Amino acid sequence: MTTATTVFAASAPFRTVHHGRFRILVTDNRITSGQHLVLVKGRVTDRPAVACRVASACITSTALDADDCDCAGQNRTALDIIDADGMGVLIHLDQEGRGNGLVAKIRALNGKEAGLDTFTAIEALGLPADNRNYSDVARILHELRVPSIRLLTNNPAKVAAVADTGVVVVARLPCLDFDPPRRSLRHLAAKADRGHLLPHRPEPDAR
């Protein structure tokens, strides 16, 4: 697979412990809104309905093992699905704190510690609960020559937002953390209340 220098600044072979071989790419932040990481498995060029996860940076969960978030678990599930398909794309957007930035994310942890869910903790800072932008997703998939995707998400609003950029989303695939951390249940209940398609509304005191 060749990559276009108009979007990607670097690429290399990449191997994961549980999901094997990928190609890892990073976008050029002089062109895109940040340095987005992209994992590509198999040959996705000109393949329709490619499994694709569009995740946002969440260093506290994916790197630091936070017990109040399901982001790491969703990433694992997405990689399981991509691996089972033998091909797919995971786009890791450089958008911490749902697009509000890392400083806001860390400040919001104080609200979460006081009992607020992840949305209200951000809103208490006077910021929008979700400030993400998906325009770079269309650029990335265009460079990869992926004509259409099955989007791995539980959030119908994300499906609409990604489709609004011109990406052809032919289906939504659930992307669940099947063993979420105990303190993330409040967060998951809030997601369900805000329209995320979860199999049942998690109860914060259930575990």
pLDDT, tens digit (0-9, with 9 covering 90-100), for 12-70: 999 999 999 999 999 999 999 999 999 999 999 999 999 999 999 999 999 999 988 99
Both tokens assigned to 23: 């190609």
What is the spatial distance between Cα 185 and Cα 65, in angstroms, rounded to a whole number? 15
Write down the pLDDT at residue 190.
86
Active site residues: 130, 132
Q: Which pLDDT tens digit goes with each residue over 166-200? A: 999 999 999 998 888 888 888 888 888 888 988 76
**Residue 172, in any domain of the structure:** yes
Both tokens assigned to 28: 């050029």
Write down the pLDDT at residue 189.
87
Helix (H) or strand (E) holding 157: helix 156-163
Domain count, the chain: 1
**Residue 73, in any domain of the structure:** yes
| Structural domain for 26, as ranges | 8-95+132-193
- The 10 Å CB-count burial string (b at 16+, else e) for 107-117 is bbeebbeeebb
Residue 88 has pLDDT above 70, yes or no: yes
**Residue 147, in any domain of the structure:** yes
**Residue 26 β-bridge partners:** 10, 37
Q: Which pLDDT tens digit goes with each residue over 117-163? A: 889 999 999 999 999 999 999 999 999 999 999 999 999 999 999 99
**Residue 1, in any domain of the structure:** no
- Fill in the amino acid letter for 128: P
**Residue 199, in any domain of the structure:** no
**Residue 182, in any domain of the structure:** yes
Both tokens assigned to 186: 């409040």
Any idea what the CATH number is for the domain that residue 83 is in? Answer: 3.40.50.10990
More confident residue, 202 or 40: 40
**Residue 200, in any domain of the structure:** no
